[in-house]
Structure 1
Amino acid sequence: MEKLTRCFMSVLLLSAVLSSGLTEEKFFGEGGTLELGPYFSGKIDTVIWKLNNNLVAEWVKSISDLTYYDVFVNRTNLDKITGTLEIRNMSSADSGEYRVEINNKVLPESYNVKVIKEVTQPVVFLQPLVSKQCNLLCEGNTEGAEPVTYSWKMGEGEWMDGEKIRIITNDKETQSIETFSCRMKNPISEKQTDPIPNPFYRENPADSELWIKLLGPVMGSLVILSLLCVVVFLMWRKRESVRKLICPFLIRKDDGEDYDDDYENVT
């Protein structure tokens, strides 16, 4: 019995911890509109919204009308039926933890609101450019715009998640890519660079390599053909010497008489 009681209490304690720790992160742009809706169903008689334990808006059906506090006056709206809170013209000062109390009960969920800037237009720098590899740096002002993620696109391909710096190497795969593009993105905006030329790009690299492979045999054949032509030419120039060397028993008749043959046997 004691063990069963301890187990039951542990389950209750775990449930309480999980329910009290439900926090939803929300991002909004500067100058934008915040809208937070509580997870509540049923009739609402009282609503109180707080930011970091400071009052934002309050409504008690039986006592008072809607009341907005401090910097939230004239730019806030509270829906009495749903309990939804709306704040216009948001600034970084409106960031923080928002909690709501409905019917005198603080709801377990809270909202961690962050007001951020849009990302700036990024640019890509090459650093340093060497024969084997280089770094592509996606640069942009991220102050007040975090969290920022980076993506890269090769040529006309799909965007792929990456880092701020991308290392490219001078290999066959990279040589076939004509351009690179970078994109910066945060929860409220995204911007991308214009495509930049790939410093290692080679047009039709496969054809170029094929020509290199064929060039060796072709040059070898040309050299052999040239040597053969030289030999034939020299033999023609030295034909008499060659004739005497090959057929020393034949002599040429040069006495002016008509013969059917140019040569006769010497006995």
Structure 2
Amino acid sequence: MFQLFVFMSLSFWLLTGVFADSGEVKSVMEGDSVTLESGVAELQEEDVVTWLFGPKKTQIAEVDTDAAISSTSDGDAVGFRNRLKLDNQTGSLTIMNTRIADSGVYQISISGKKKPTTLNFSVTVYAHLPVPVLIRDCSSSSSSSVQSNCSMLCSVVNVSAVSLSWYKGNSVLSSISVSDLSISLTLPLEVEYQDNNTYSCVINNTISNQTTHLDIKTLCQPCPATSTPDPQTPLHSSLHPSPRPPSTTPSNRTSGTSSPTTSSPNSQLILISAAAAAGSLISITIVGIIWICKNSKKTDQKGKCYRMLTDL
């Protein structure tokens, strides 16, 4: 019995601590203002109000009634320059022109003649929601079984802590939620071309929403047919070049008179080779006759040799 009492006491203490830490929840759209109420109708003499922000509990504002101090200069160092406003009568704090980085826990402490009090505020600053974009999806329309249907995609980019949903009238058809930062979402929908119902894609968070309505007649046009190229048909003229026409030699014709025919280089080469061979043969013959004449001992043979040379 004693153990049960201890367990319940600890549980109550833990729960009390959790709820005390969570405090009041505030949601605001980026750029708007939010006021954190002190819970006091009017500050008394000797009251000191201190505002803290973030996990490190950095002081950002202070009110001291005795010293007549009301300052927000401490918040300049953590990004609140010229964006904090203190109510000197109540100690409440207003954050102007809010930013995403302003999200977090704020704490107010009030001390004075009365018992000190502490309040926590959990502030969430939401970015402005983008308008959902509807895109015709033709990638899933190639099958003959779905040619009578229209496939659509609803997309948003760079969103966090939102839900994206397709509605048919006021009924939710499908939905997807995300809490990650800067993520893109896409949600498909398939309807018939002749469908007369009202469809819309909605993105929403805690404090706002954006809606885009589907106009079936405008967006759900039949996808263009994709044809398979004939393997016998050239894909490009460069792959199958056409035959080049025969080249023509420039004509030297003038006034109907043809130019003389010139022999080819091969014929000239043959003639030159033949002439050279004949010349070589004659030279050899002459040298042979001269040698015979010089070596001949008889006078009549020498005379014949010289006559042969004369004939050549």
Q: TM-score range by the shorter chain?
A: 0.5 to 0.7
Computing the radius of gyration from Cα coordinates, the structure with the larger value is: 2
Partner residue of 2:211?
Answer: 192
Residues 106 and 136 (structure 1 numbering): CA distance in 2 closer, same or farther, change over 3 Å?
Answer: farther
After TM superposition, list the pairs within 5 Å mapping 1:1-267 onto structure 2.
Answer: 6=6, 9-10=9-10, 13-14=13-14, 16-39=16-39, 43=43, 45-52=47-54, 53-68=57-72, 69=74, 70=76, 71-103=79-111, 105=116, 107-111=118-122, 113-127=123-137, 128-130=139-141, 131-132=145-146, 135-141=151-157, 143=158, 145-154=159-168, 157-158=169-170, 160=172, 162-163=174-175, 164-168=186-190, 176-197=195-216, 199=220
Residues 100 and 108 (structure 1 numbering): CA distance in 2 closer, same or farther, change over 3 Å?
Answer: closer
1:200 Cα deviation after fit: 9.9
Whole-angstrom CA distance in 1 between matches of 2:8 and 2:171: 50
Identity of aligned residues (%): 26
Report which of the two has the higher share of strand.
1
Whole-angstrom CA distance in 2 between matches of 1:161 and 1:46: 55
Q: Which one-letter code corresponds to 2:163 in the other structure?
A: T
Whole-angstrom CA distance in 1 between matches of 2:165 and 2:87: 40
**Matched residue SS, 1:193:** strand
Q: Which one-letter code corresponds to 1:13 in the other structure?
A: W
1:61 Cα deviation after fit: 1.3
**Matched residue SS, 1:10:** helix
CA contact (8 A) 1:47 1:80 kept: no
Q: Which one-letter code corresponds to 2:190 in the other structure?
A: I
Measured on the aligned residues, the alpha-carbon RMSD in Å equals 3.5
Whole-angstrom CA distance in 2 between matches of 1:55 and 1:140: 38
Give deviations 1:187-210, integer Å, cap 9, x for gaps.
343222242317499xxxxxxxxx
Residues 9 and 186 (structure 1 numbering): CA distance in 2 closer, same or farther, change over 3 Å?
Answer: closer
Number of aligned pairs? 193
Give deviations 1:23-72, integer Å, cap 9, x for gaps.
44433233221222245567552221111111121112123410112143
CA contact (8 A) 2:109 2:119 kept: no
Residues 15 and 187 (structure 1 numbering): CA distance in 2 closer, same or farther, change over 3 Å?
Answer: closer
Unaligned runs of 5+ in 2: 176-185, 223-312
1:86 Cα deviation after fit: 0.4
Residues 103 and 162 (structure 1 numbering): CA distance in 2 closer, same or farther, change over 3 Å?
Answer: farther
CA contact (8 A) 1:34 1:88 kept: yes
1:109 Cα deviation after fit: 3.2
Partner residue of 2:248?
Answer: none
Using structure 2 for the length normalisation, give the TM-score: 0.51
1:12 Cα deviation after fit: 5.6
Q: Which one-letter code corresponds to 1:137 in the other structure?
A: L
**Matched residue SS, 2:131:** coil
